[in-house]
Amino acid sequence: MRGKSFAAILLGLPLAVALIGLAALLSSDQARHTLPWLLVFFPVWIGVMSVAFLFRSGARAWLWLGSACVLAYAVLYGLKASGLVRIAA
Amino acid sequence: MKSSTLRSFIAVHTWVGLIAGFALFIAFYAGAITVFNKQLHVWETHSAKKETPQSLAQAQPLIDAVLAAHPQARDGFSVKLPSEYEPSLLLDWDERKPDGSVIEHNFKLAPDGSLIDVKPESELSHFLVRLHYTAGLPTQLGTYLLGLVCVLYGLALVSGVVIYAPSFFKDLFALRLGKNLKRLWQDAHNAVGILSLPFHIMFAWSSAILTFGLLLMAPFQFLVFDGKLLNLVQPDIFISKPVAAAGVQAPLLPVQDLLDIALRQVPGMQMTYLRYKHAGDAHGVVEVYGDVAQRTLTGNAAVVLGTSDGKVERVLAPSGFSPGTMFLRGLTSLHYGDFGHAAVLWIYFVLGMAGAFLFYSGNLLWIESRRKHRLREQPRNTRWMAQGTLGICLGCVAGIAALFLVNKLAPAGPGGLAVWEERTYYAVFFAAIVWAFIRPPARAAHELLMLCSILSLLLPFSQWYAGGVNPLLSAWRGETVIVVVDLMALLFAWIYWRMARAVLRRGLHGDPHSVWSLQALPG
C-alpha cells in the first residue's frame, strides 16, 4: 500500500503533466487549445493517481508508471529537440 | 475486481477522507451559505433592507474627487456601479504603503458632494466567503491548503465510486432504517455521495482551479513550454495585458461616455464595475465589466477602452469567447452557480449542505466501523476522532450561528462590528474544540448541538430586537431577505435540537460498547 501511495504521489503529477503537455503541443492550434488542455489536467492527474492503486503491488505500480513517465518525457523532449513540434508563442 | 484492489481503494478512501474531511466540512457549510452572498450583504447592514441605488451621474465627480485628494490612486482603482444589493457607488483603491502594507479604501460621495472613505458596516458576508475558501486559516496558506484538499477530495470521489460500484443498483435508493445504525449511516452516506456525484466532481475540479490553478501552471511552464506558456494563454485568461504608463498626461473621458461606448460594443450588457489602470495617462485603459443575459453558461462580458480617447482595445463577450476562455469561465460559473436564479441557488444550497453532511457522516462511519463490540474500553483513536469531528464541525456551525447573532447584537461603530464578528466566530470555534475534548463524546455532542440549536433559535429574536420590527410584520411587508433568514434559522434550530436529542438517547439507552455511550458497563 505504501509503495502504491508513493507511486501515486510522486509519479502522478509528472506523468499527467507530460500527457497533457503532449496533447497541447500536438494540437492543431496551440493558441486556441492550450488552455482547454490545461483545464483537463486536474481530472487527468487524479485519474493517473488512482491508476496507481490498480496494480497488484507497489513495485509494479512504480515499474509501469515510471516507464510511462520516462517514455512520455522522452517523446516530449524528442519532438521538441528534433523540431517536429514547435511552441507557437 | 480483485478483493486486494478493492481493499487498496477502501484504504485510499478512508485516509484521504479523514485528512480532507474537516476542511471540506467547513468549506461546504460556509460555501452553502455563501451561495446567497449578495442577499446576505443586504441582510448584514443595519436596516437589512434594499435601498434606492445612487445615480450613475455621481461616478465622474467621485473619480475626480479621489484623484484630486490621492493622485497616486491613478495607477489602479475600481469603480463599483450601484446595484440592487449594494446601493452605493463606490471607488475601491488599495493604497500601498512604503512598508509594504496595504490599506483598502472604499470612497463614496456624500449627498453634499464631499468625499468619504466608507468603512464597511459589517464583514459578515465577506468573512463567510473567506471561511469558505480558507477554512478560517490565513488567506494565502488556507487557499493553497484547500487546493491540496481538492486533490484529496478528487481521490476520495474516485475511490468512493470504485468501492461502491459493485453494489450500485442494489443499494442506490436503499435507506435501511433499523437497529443497525452503521447500515443506516452507510446508506445515507452512499446515497448522498452517489446522487450528488456530478456536483462533487464539478466542485473538486473547479475549486482546484480557483485555489491553485495558477500554481499548477508552473510545471507546464518549465517542463513543457520552455517558459513561453504565459504568452500562449495570457489572452484566454486575462482581459488586458499589463501596460506601462507613457508619462504623458491625457484628460479622462467622462464615465458616462465610456459606458456608452462599451454598451455599443456589447448591446444589452448590464455593467457592474470598471477597472482603471493609469487613469489620466496617454496609455491609460479601463476595463468595463458586465453581464449579458443570454442562454450561455457564463454571461460575463468585458470591454477594454482607452481612458482618454475611448478607443476600443478589446471586446470580450460570451458569443466571441475562445474555447479556453469559455471553458475557464464556464467552470467558474458552475462553481458560483451564478448562471441561474433563485431555483439554482437553492439547489446549490441544499447540495452544499448535503456535501457537509457527507463529510460529517464519513467521519462517524469511520468511528462506527472501528467499534469494538466486546471491549470495555473503546480504542483511543476513535474517541479522538469523535471529539475532533464534534469540535471542528459543530464548532464551525456554532461559530457561524454566533456570527449572525453578533451582527445584530454587537454595538455598531465605524469598522467595529467587523472585528466583533471575526473574533466571535473564532472564539466560539476554538471553545467548541476545547469543549469537545474535555467532555465525554456523547455529552459534548449533546451540548454542542444544543448550543447550535439555541444560537440559531435566537436569531429571529435578535433581528426583531435590532430592527424593531416583529417577524410577522416583516413578512407582511415582503422583506424577503429577513424572513428567509429567520425561517432558515428556525429550521436549523429544529434540526440541531433533534440531533441533540438523538445523541442523548443513544448515550443513555443505546449499545454500551461505543464511544457514544454514557452508560457504565456492567462488571
Sheet holding B312-316, edge to edge: B115-117, B102-109, B90-96, B76-80, B270-277, B285-291, B300-306, B312-316
Q: Is the pLDDT reported for residue B325 higher than 80?
A: yes
Residue identified by cell 469559455 is B326
- For a pLDDT cut of 70, what percent of chain B falls above it? 97
Asked if residue A10 is part of any domain, the answer here is yes
Q: What is the pLDDT of residue B372?
A: 80
Nearest Cα neighbor of B163 from B195, B193, B188 is B193
Nearest Cα neighbor of B506 from B451, B459, B440 is B440
Backbone angles phi, psi at B313, to 5 degrees: -90, -40
Q: What number is the average pLDDT over the span B408-421?
A: 78
Sign of dihedral through CA atoms B520, B498, B352, B436? negative
Residues of chain A with Cβ-Cβ distance to B217 below 8 Å are 38
Cβ-defined contact of A4 to B8 (cutoff 8 Å): yes
Which amino acid is present at A84?
A: L
Nearest Cα neighbor of B159 from B24, B355, B22, B12 is B12
Cβ-defined contact of A56 to B216 (cutoff 8 Å): no
Using N-to-C axis directions, what is the helix angle for A2-26 and A30-39, rounded to 10°? Answer: 160
Identify the top-confidence range among A38-42, B3-7, B463-467. A38-42
Nearest Cα neighbor of B385 from B348, B343, B336, B437 is B437
Q: What is the pLDDT of residue B513?
A: 82
Q: How far does the CA of residue B225 sit from the closest CA of chain A (Å)?
A: 7
Q: What is the pLDDT of residue B289?
A: 95
Q: What is the pLDDT of residue B285?
A: 93
B10 and chain A in contact, CB less than 8 A? no
Asked if residue A87 is part of any domain, the answer here is no
Q: What number is the average pLDDT over the span B410-424?
A: 80
Cβ-defined contact of B5 to A53 (cutoff 8 Å): yes
B298 and chain A in contact, CB less than 8 A? no
Prediction ipTM score: 0.94
B245: left (phi over 0), alpha (psi -120 to 50) or beta: beta
Q: What is the pLDDT of residue B286?
A: 95
- The length of chain B, given as a count of residues: 523
Asked if residue A64 is part of any domain, the answer here is yes
Q: What is the pLDDT of residue B485?
A: 94
Q: What is the pLDDT of residue A2?
A: 87
Domain count for chain A? 1
Q: What number is the average pLDDT over the span B54-65?
A: 91
DSSP symbols for B224-246 = TSTT-HHHHHHHHH-SS------
Asked if residue A88 is part of any domain, the answer here is no
Asked if residue A67 is part of any domain, the answer here is yes
Which amino acid is present at B458?
A: L
Tens digits of per-residue pLDDT, B386-408? 999 999 999 999 999 999 999 99
A81 and chain B in contact, CB less than 8 A? no
Q: What is the pLDDT of residue A84?
A: 85
C-alpha cell at B507: 448515550
What is residue B44's three-state secondary structure? Answer: coil
Taking all residues of chain B, what is their mean pLDDT, rounded to a whole number? 90
Nearest Cα neighbor of B417 from B46, B121, B206 is B121
Asked if residue A26 is part of any domain, the answer here is yes
Cβ-defined contact of B158 to A80 (cutoff 8 Å): no
Cβ-defined contact of A14 to B327 (cutoff 8 Å): no
Confidence of residue B523 (pLDDT cuts 50, 70, 90): low
Identify the top-confidence range among B171-175, B376-380, B420-424. B420-424
Q: Chain A to chain B, count of Cβ pairs less than 8 Å apart?
A: 101
Tens digits of per-residue pLDDT, B267-299? 999 999 999 999 989 999 999 999 998 778 888
Asked if residue A89 is part of any domain, the answer here is no
Asked if residue A74 is part of any domain, the answer here is yes
- For a pLDDT cut of 90, what percent of chain B falls above it? 60
Nearest Cα neighbor of A12 from A58, A65, A54, A53 is A65
Higher pLDDT, B182 or B155: B155
Closest chain A residue to B321 measured between Cα atoms? A32
Q: What is the pLDDT of residue B247?
A: 87
B310 CB-near residues (< 8 Å, 6+ apart): B253, B257, B258, B261
Tens digits of per-residue pLDDT, B95-148? 988 888 888 899 999 888 899 998 877 889 999 999 999 999 999 999 999 999
Out of A7-21, B171-185, B282-296, B308-322, least confident range: B171-185
Cβ-defined contact of B233 to A34 (cutoff 8 Å): yes
Residue identified by cell 449542505 is B353
Q: How far does the CA of residue B159 sit from the closest CA of chain A (Å)?
A: 7
Burial of B495 (0-12, 13-18, 19+ CB in 10 A): middle
Closest chain B residue to A4 measured between Cα atoms? B8
Residue identified by cell 446515497 is B191
A24 and chain B in contact, CB less than 8 A? yes
Spatial separation of the C-alpha atoms in residues B425 and B397, rounded to whole Å: 10
CB A77 within 8 Å of CB A22: no
Residues of chain A with Cβ-Cβ distance to B220 below 8 Å are 17, 20-21, 24, 38, 41
Minimum-distance CB partner of A17 among B201, B224, B228:
B224
Q: How far does the CA of residue A34 sit from the closest CA of chain B (Å)?
A: 7
Which residue stretches of B49-88 are H helix? 59-69
B101 and chain A in contact, CB less than 8 A? no
Q: What is the pLDDT of residue B415?
A: 64
Closest chain A residue to B4 measured between Cα atoms? A56
Q: What is the pLDDT of residue B412?
A: 66
Tell me which long-range contacts A82-86 makes (C-beta under 8 A, separation of at least 24).
Answer: A85/A25, A85/A26
Nearest Cα neighbor of B258 from B276, B278, B239, B240 is B276
In angstroms, the Cα distances linking B268 to B55, B57, B188 are 19, 19, 46
Residues of chain A with Cβ-Cβ distance to B327 below 8 Å are 35-36, 39
Which amino acid is present at B100?
A: G
Tell me the residue range of the domain where A13 lies. 2-82
Tens digits of per-residue pLDDT, A13-61? 999 999 999 999 999 889 899 999 999 999 999 999 999 999 999 999 9
Residues 125-184 of B with CB under 8 A from A: 150-151, 154-155, 157-159, 162
Buried b (16+ CB within 10 A) or exposed e, B270-300: ebeebbbbbbbbebbbbbbbbbbeeebbbbb
Tell me which long-range contacts A26-32 makes (C-beta under 8 A, separation of at least 24).
Answer: A26/A79, A26/A85, A30/A87, A30/A88, A30/A89, A30/B232, A31/A88, A31/A89, A31/B232, A32/B322, A32/B323, A32/B324
Q: How far does the CA of residue A49 sit from the closest CA of chain B (Å)?
A: 8
B7 CB-near residues (< 8 Å, 6+ apart): none
Residues of chain B with Cβ-Cβ distance to A43 below 8 Å are 154, 201, 205
Q: Is the pLDDT reported for residue B414 higher than 80?
A: no
Spatial separation of the C-alpha atoms in residues B90 and B74, rounded to whole Å: 15
Residue identified by cell 460621495 is B109
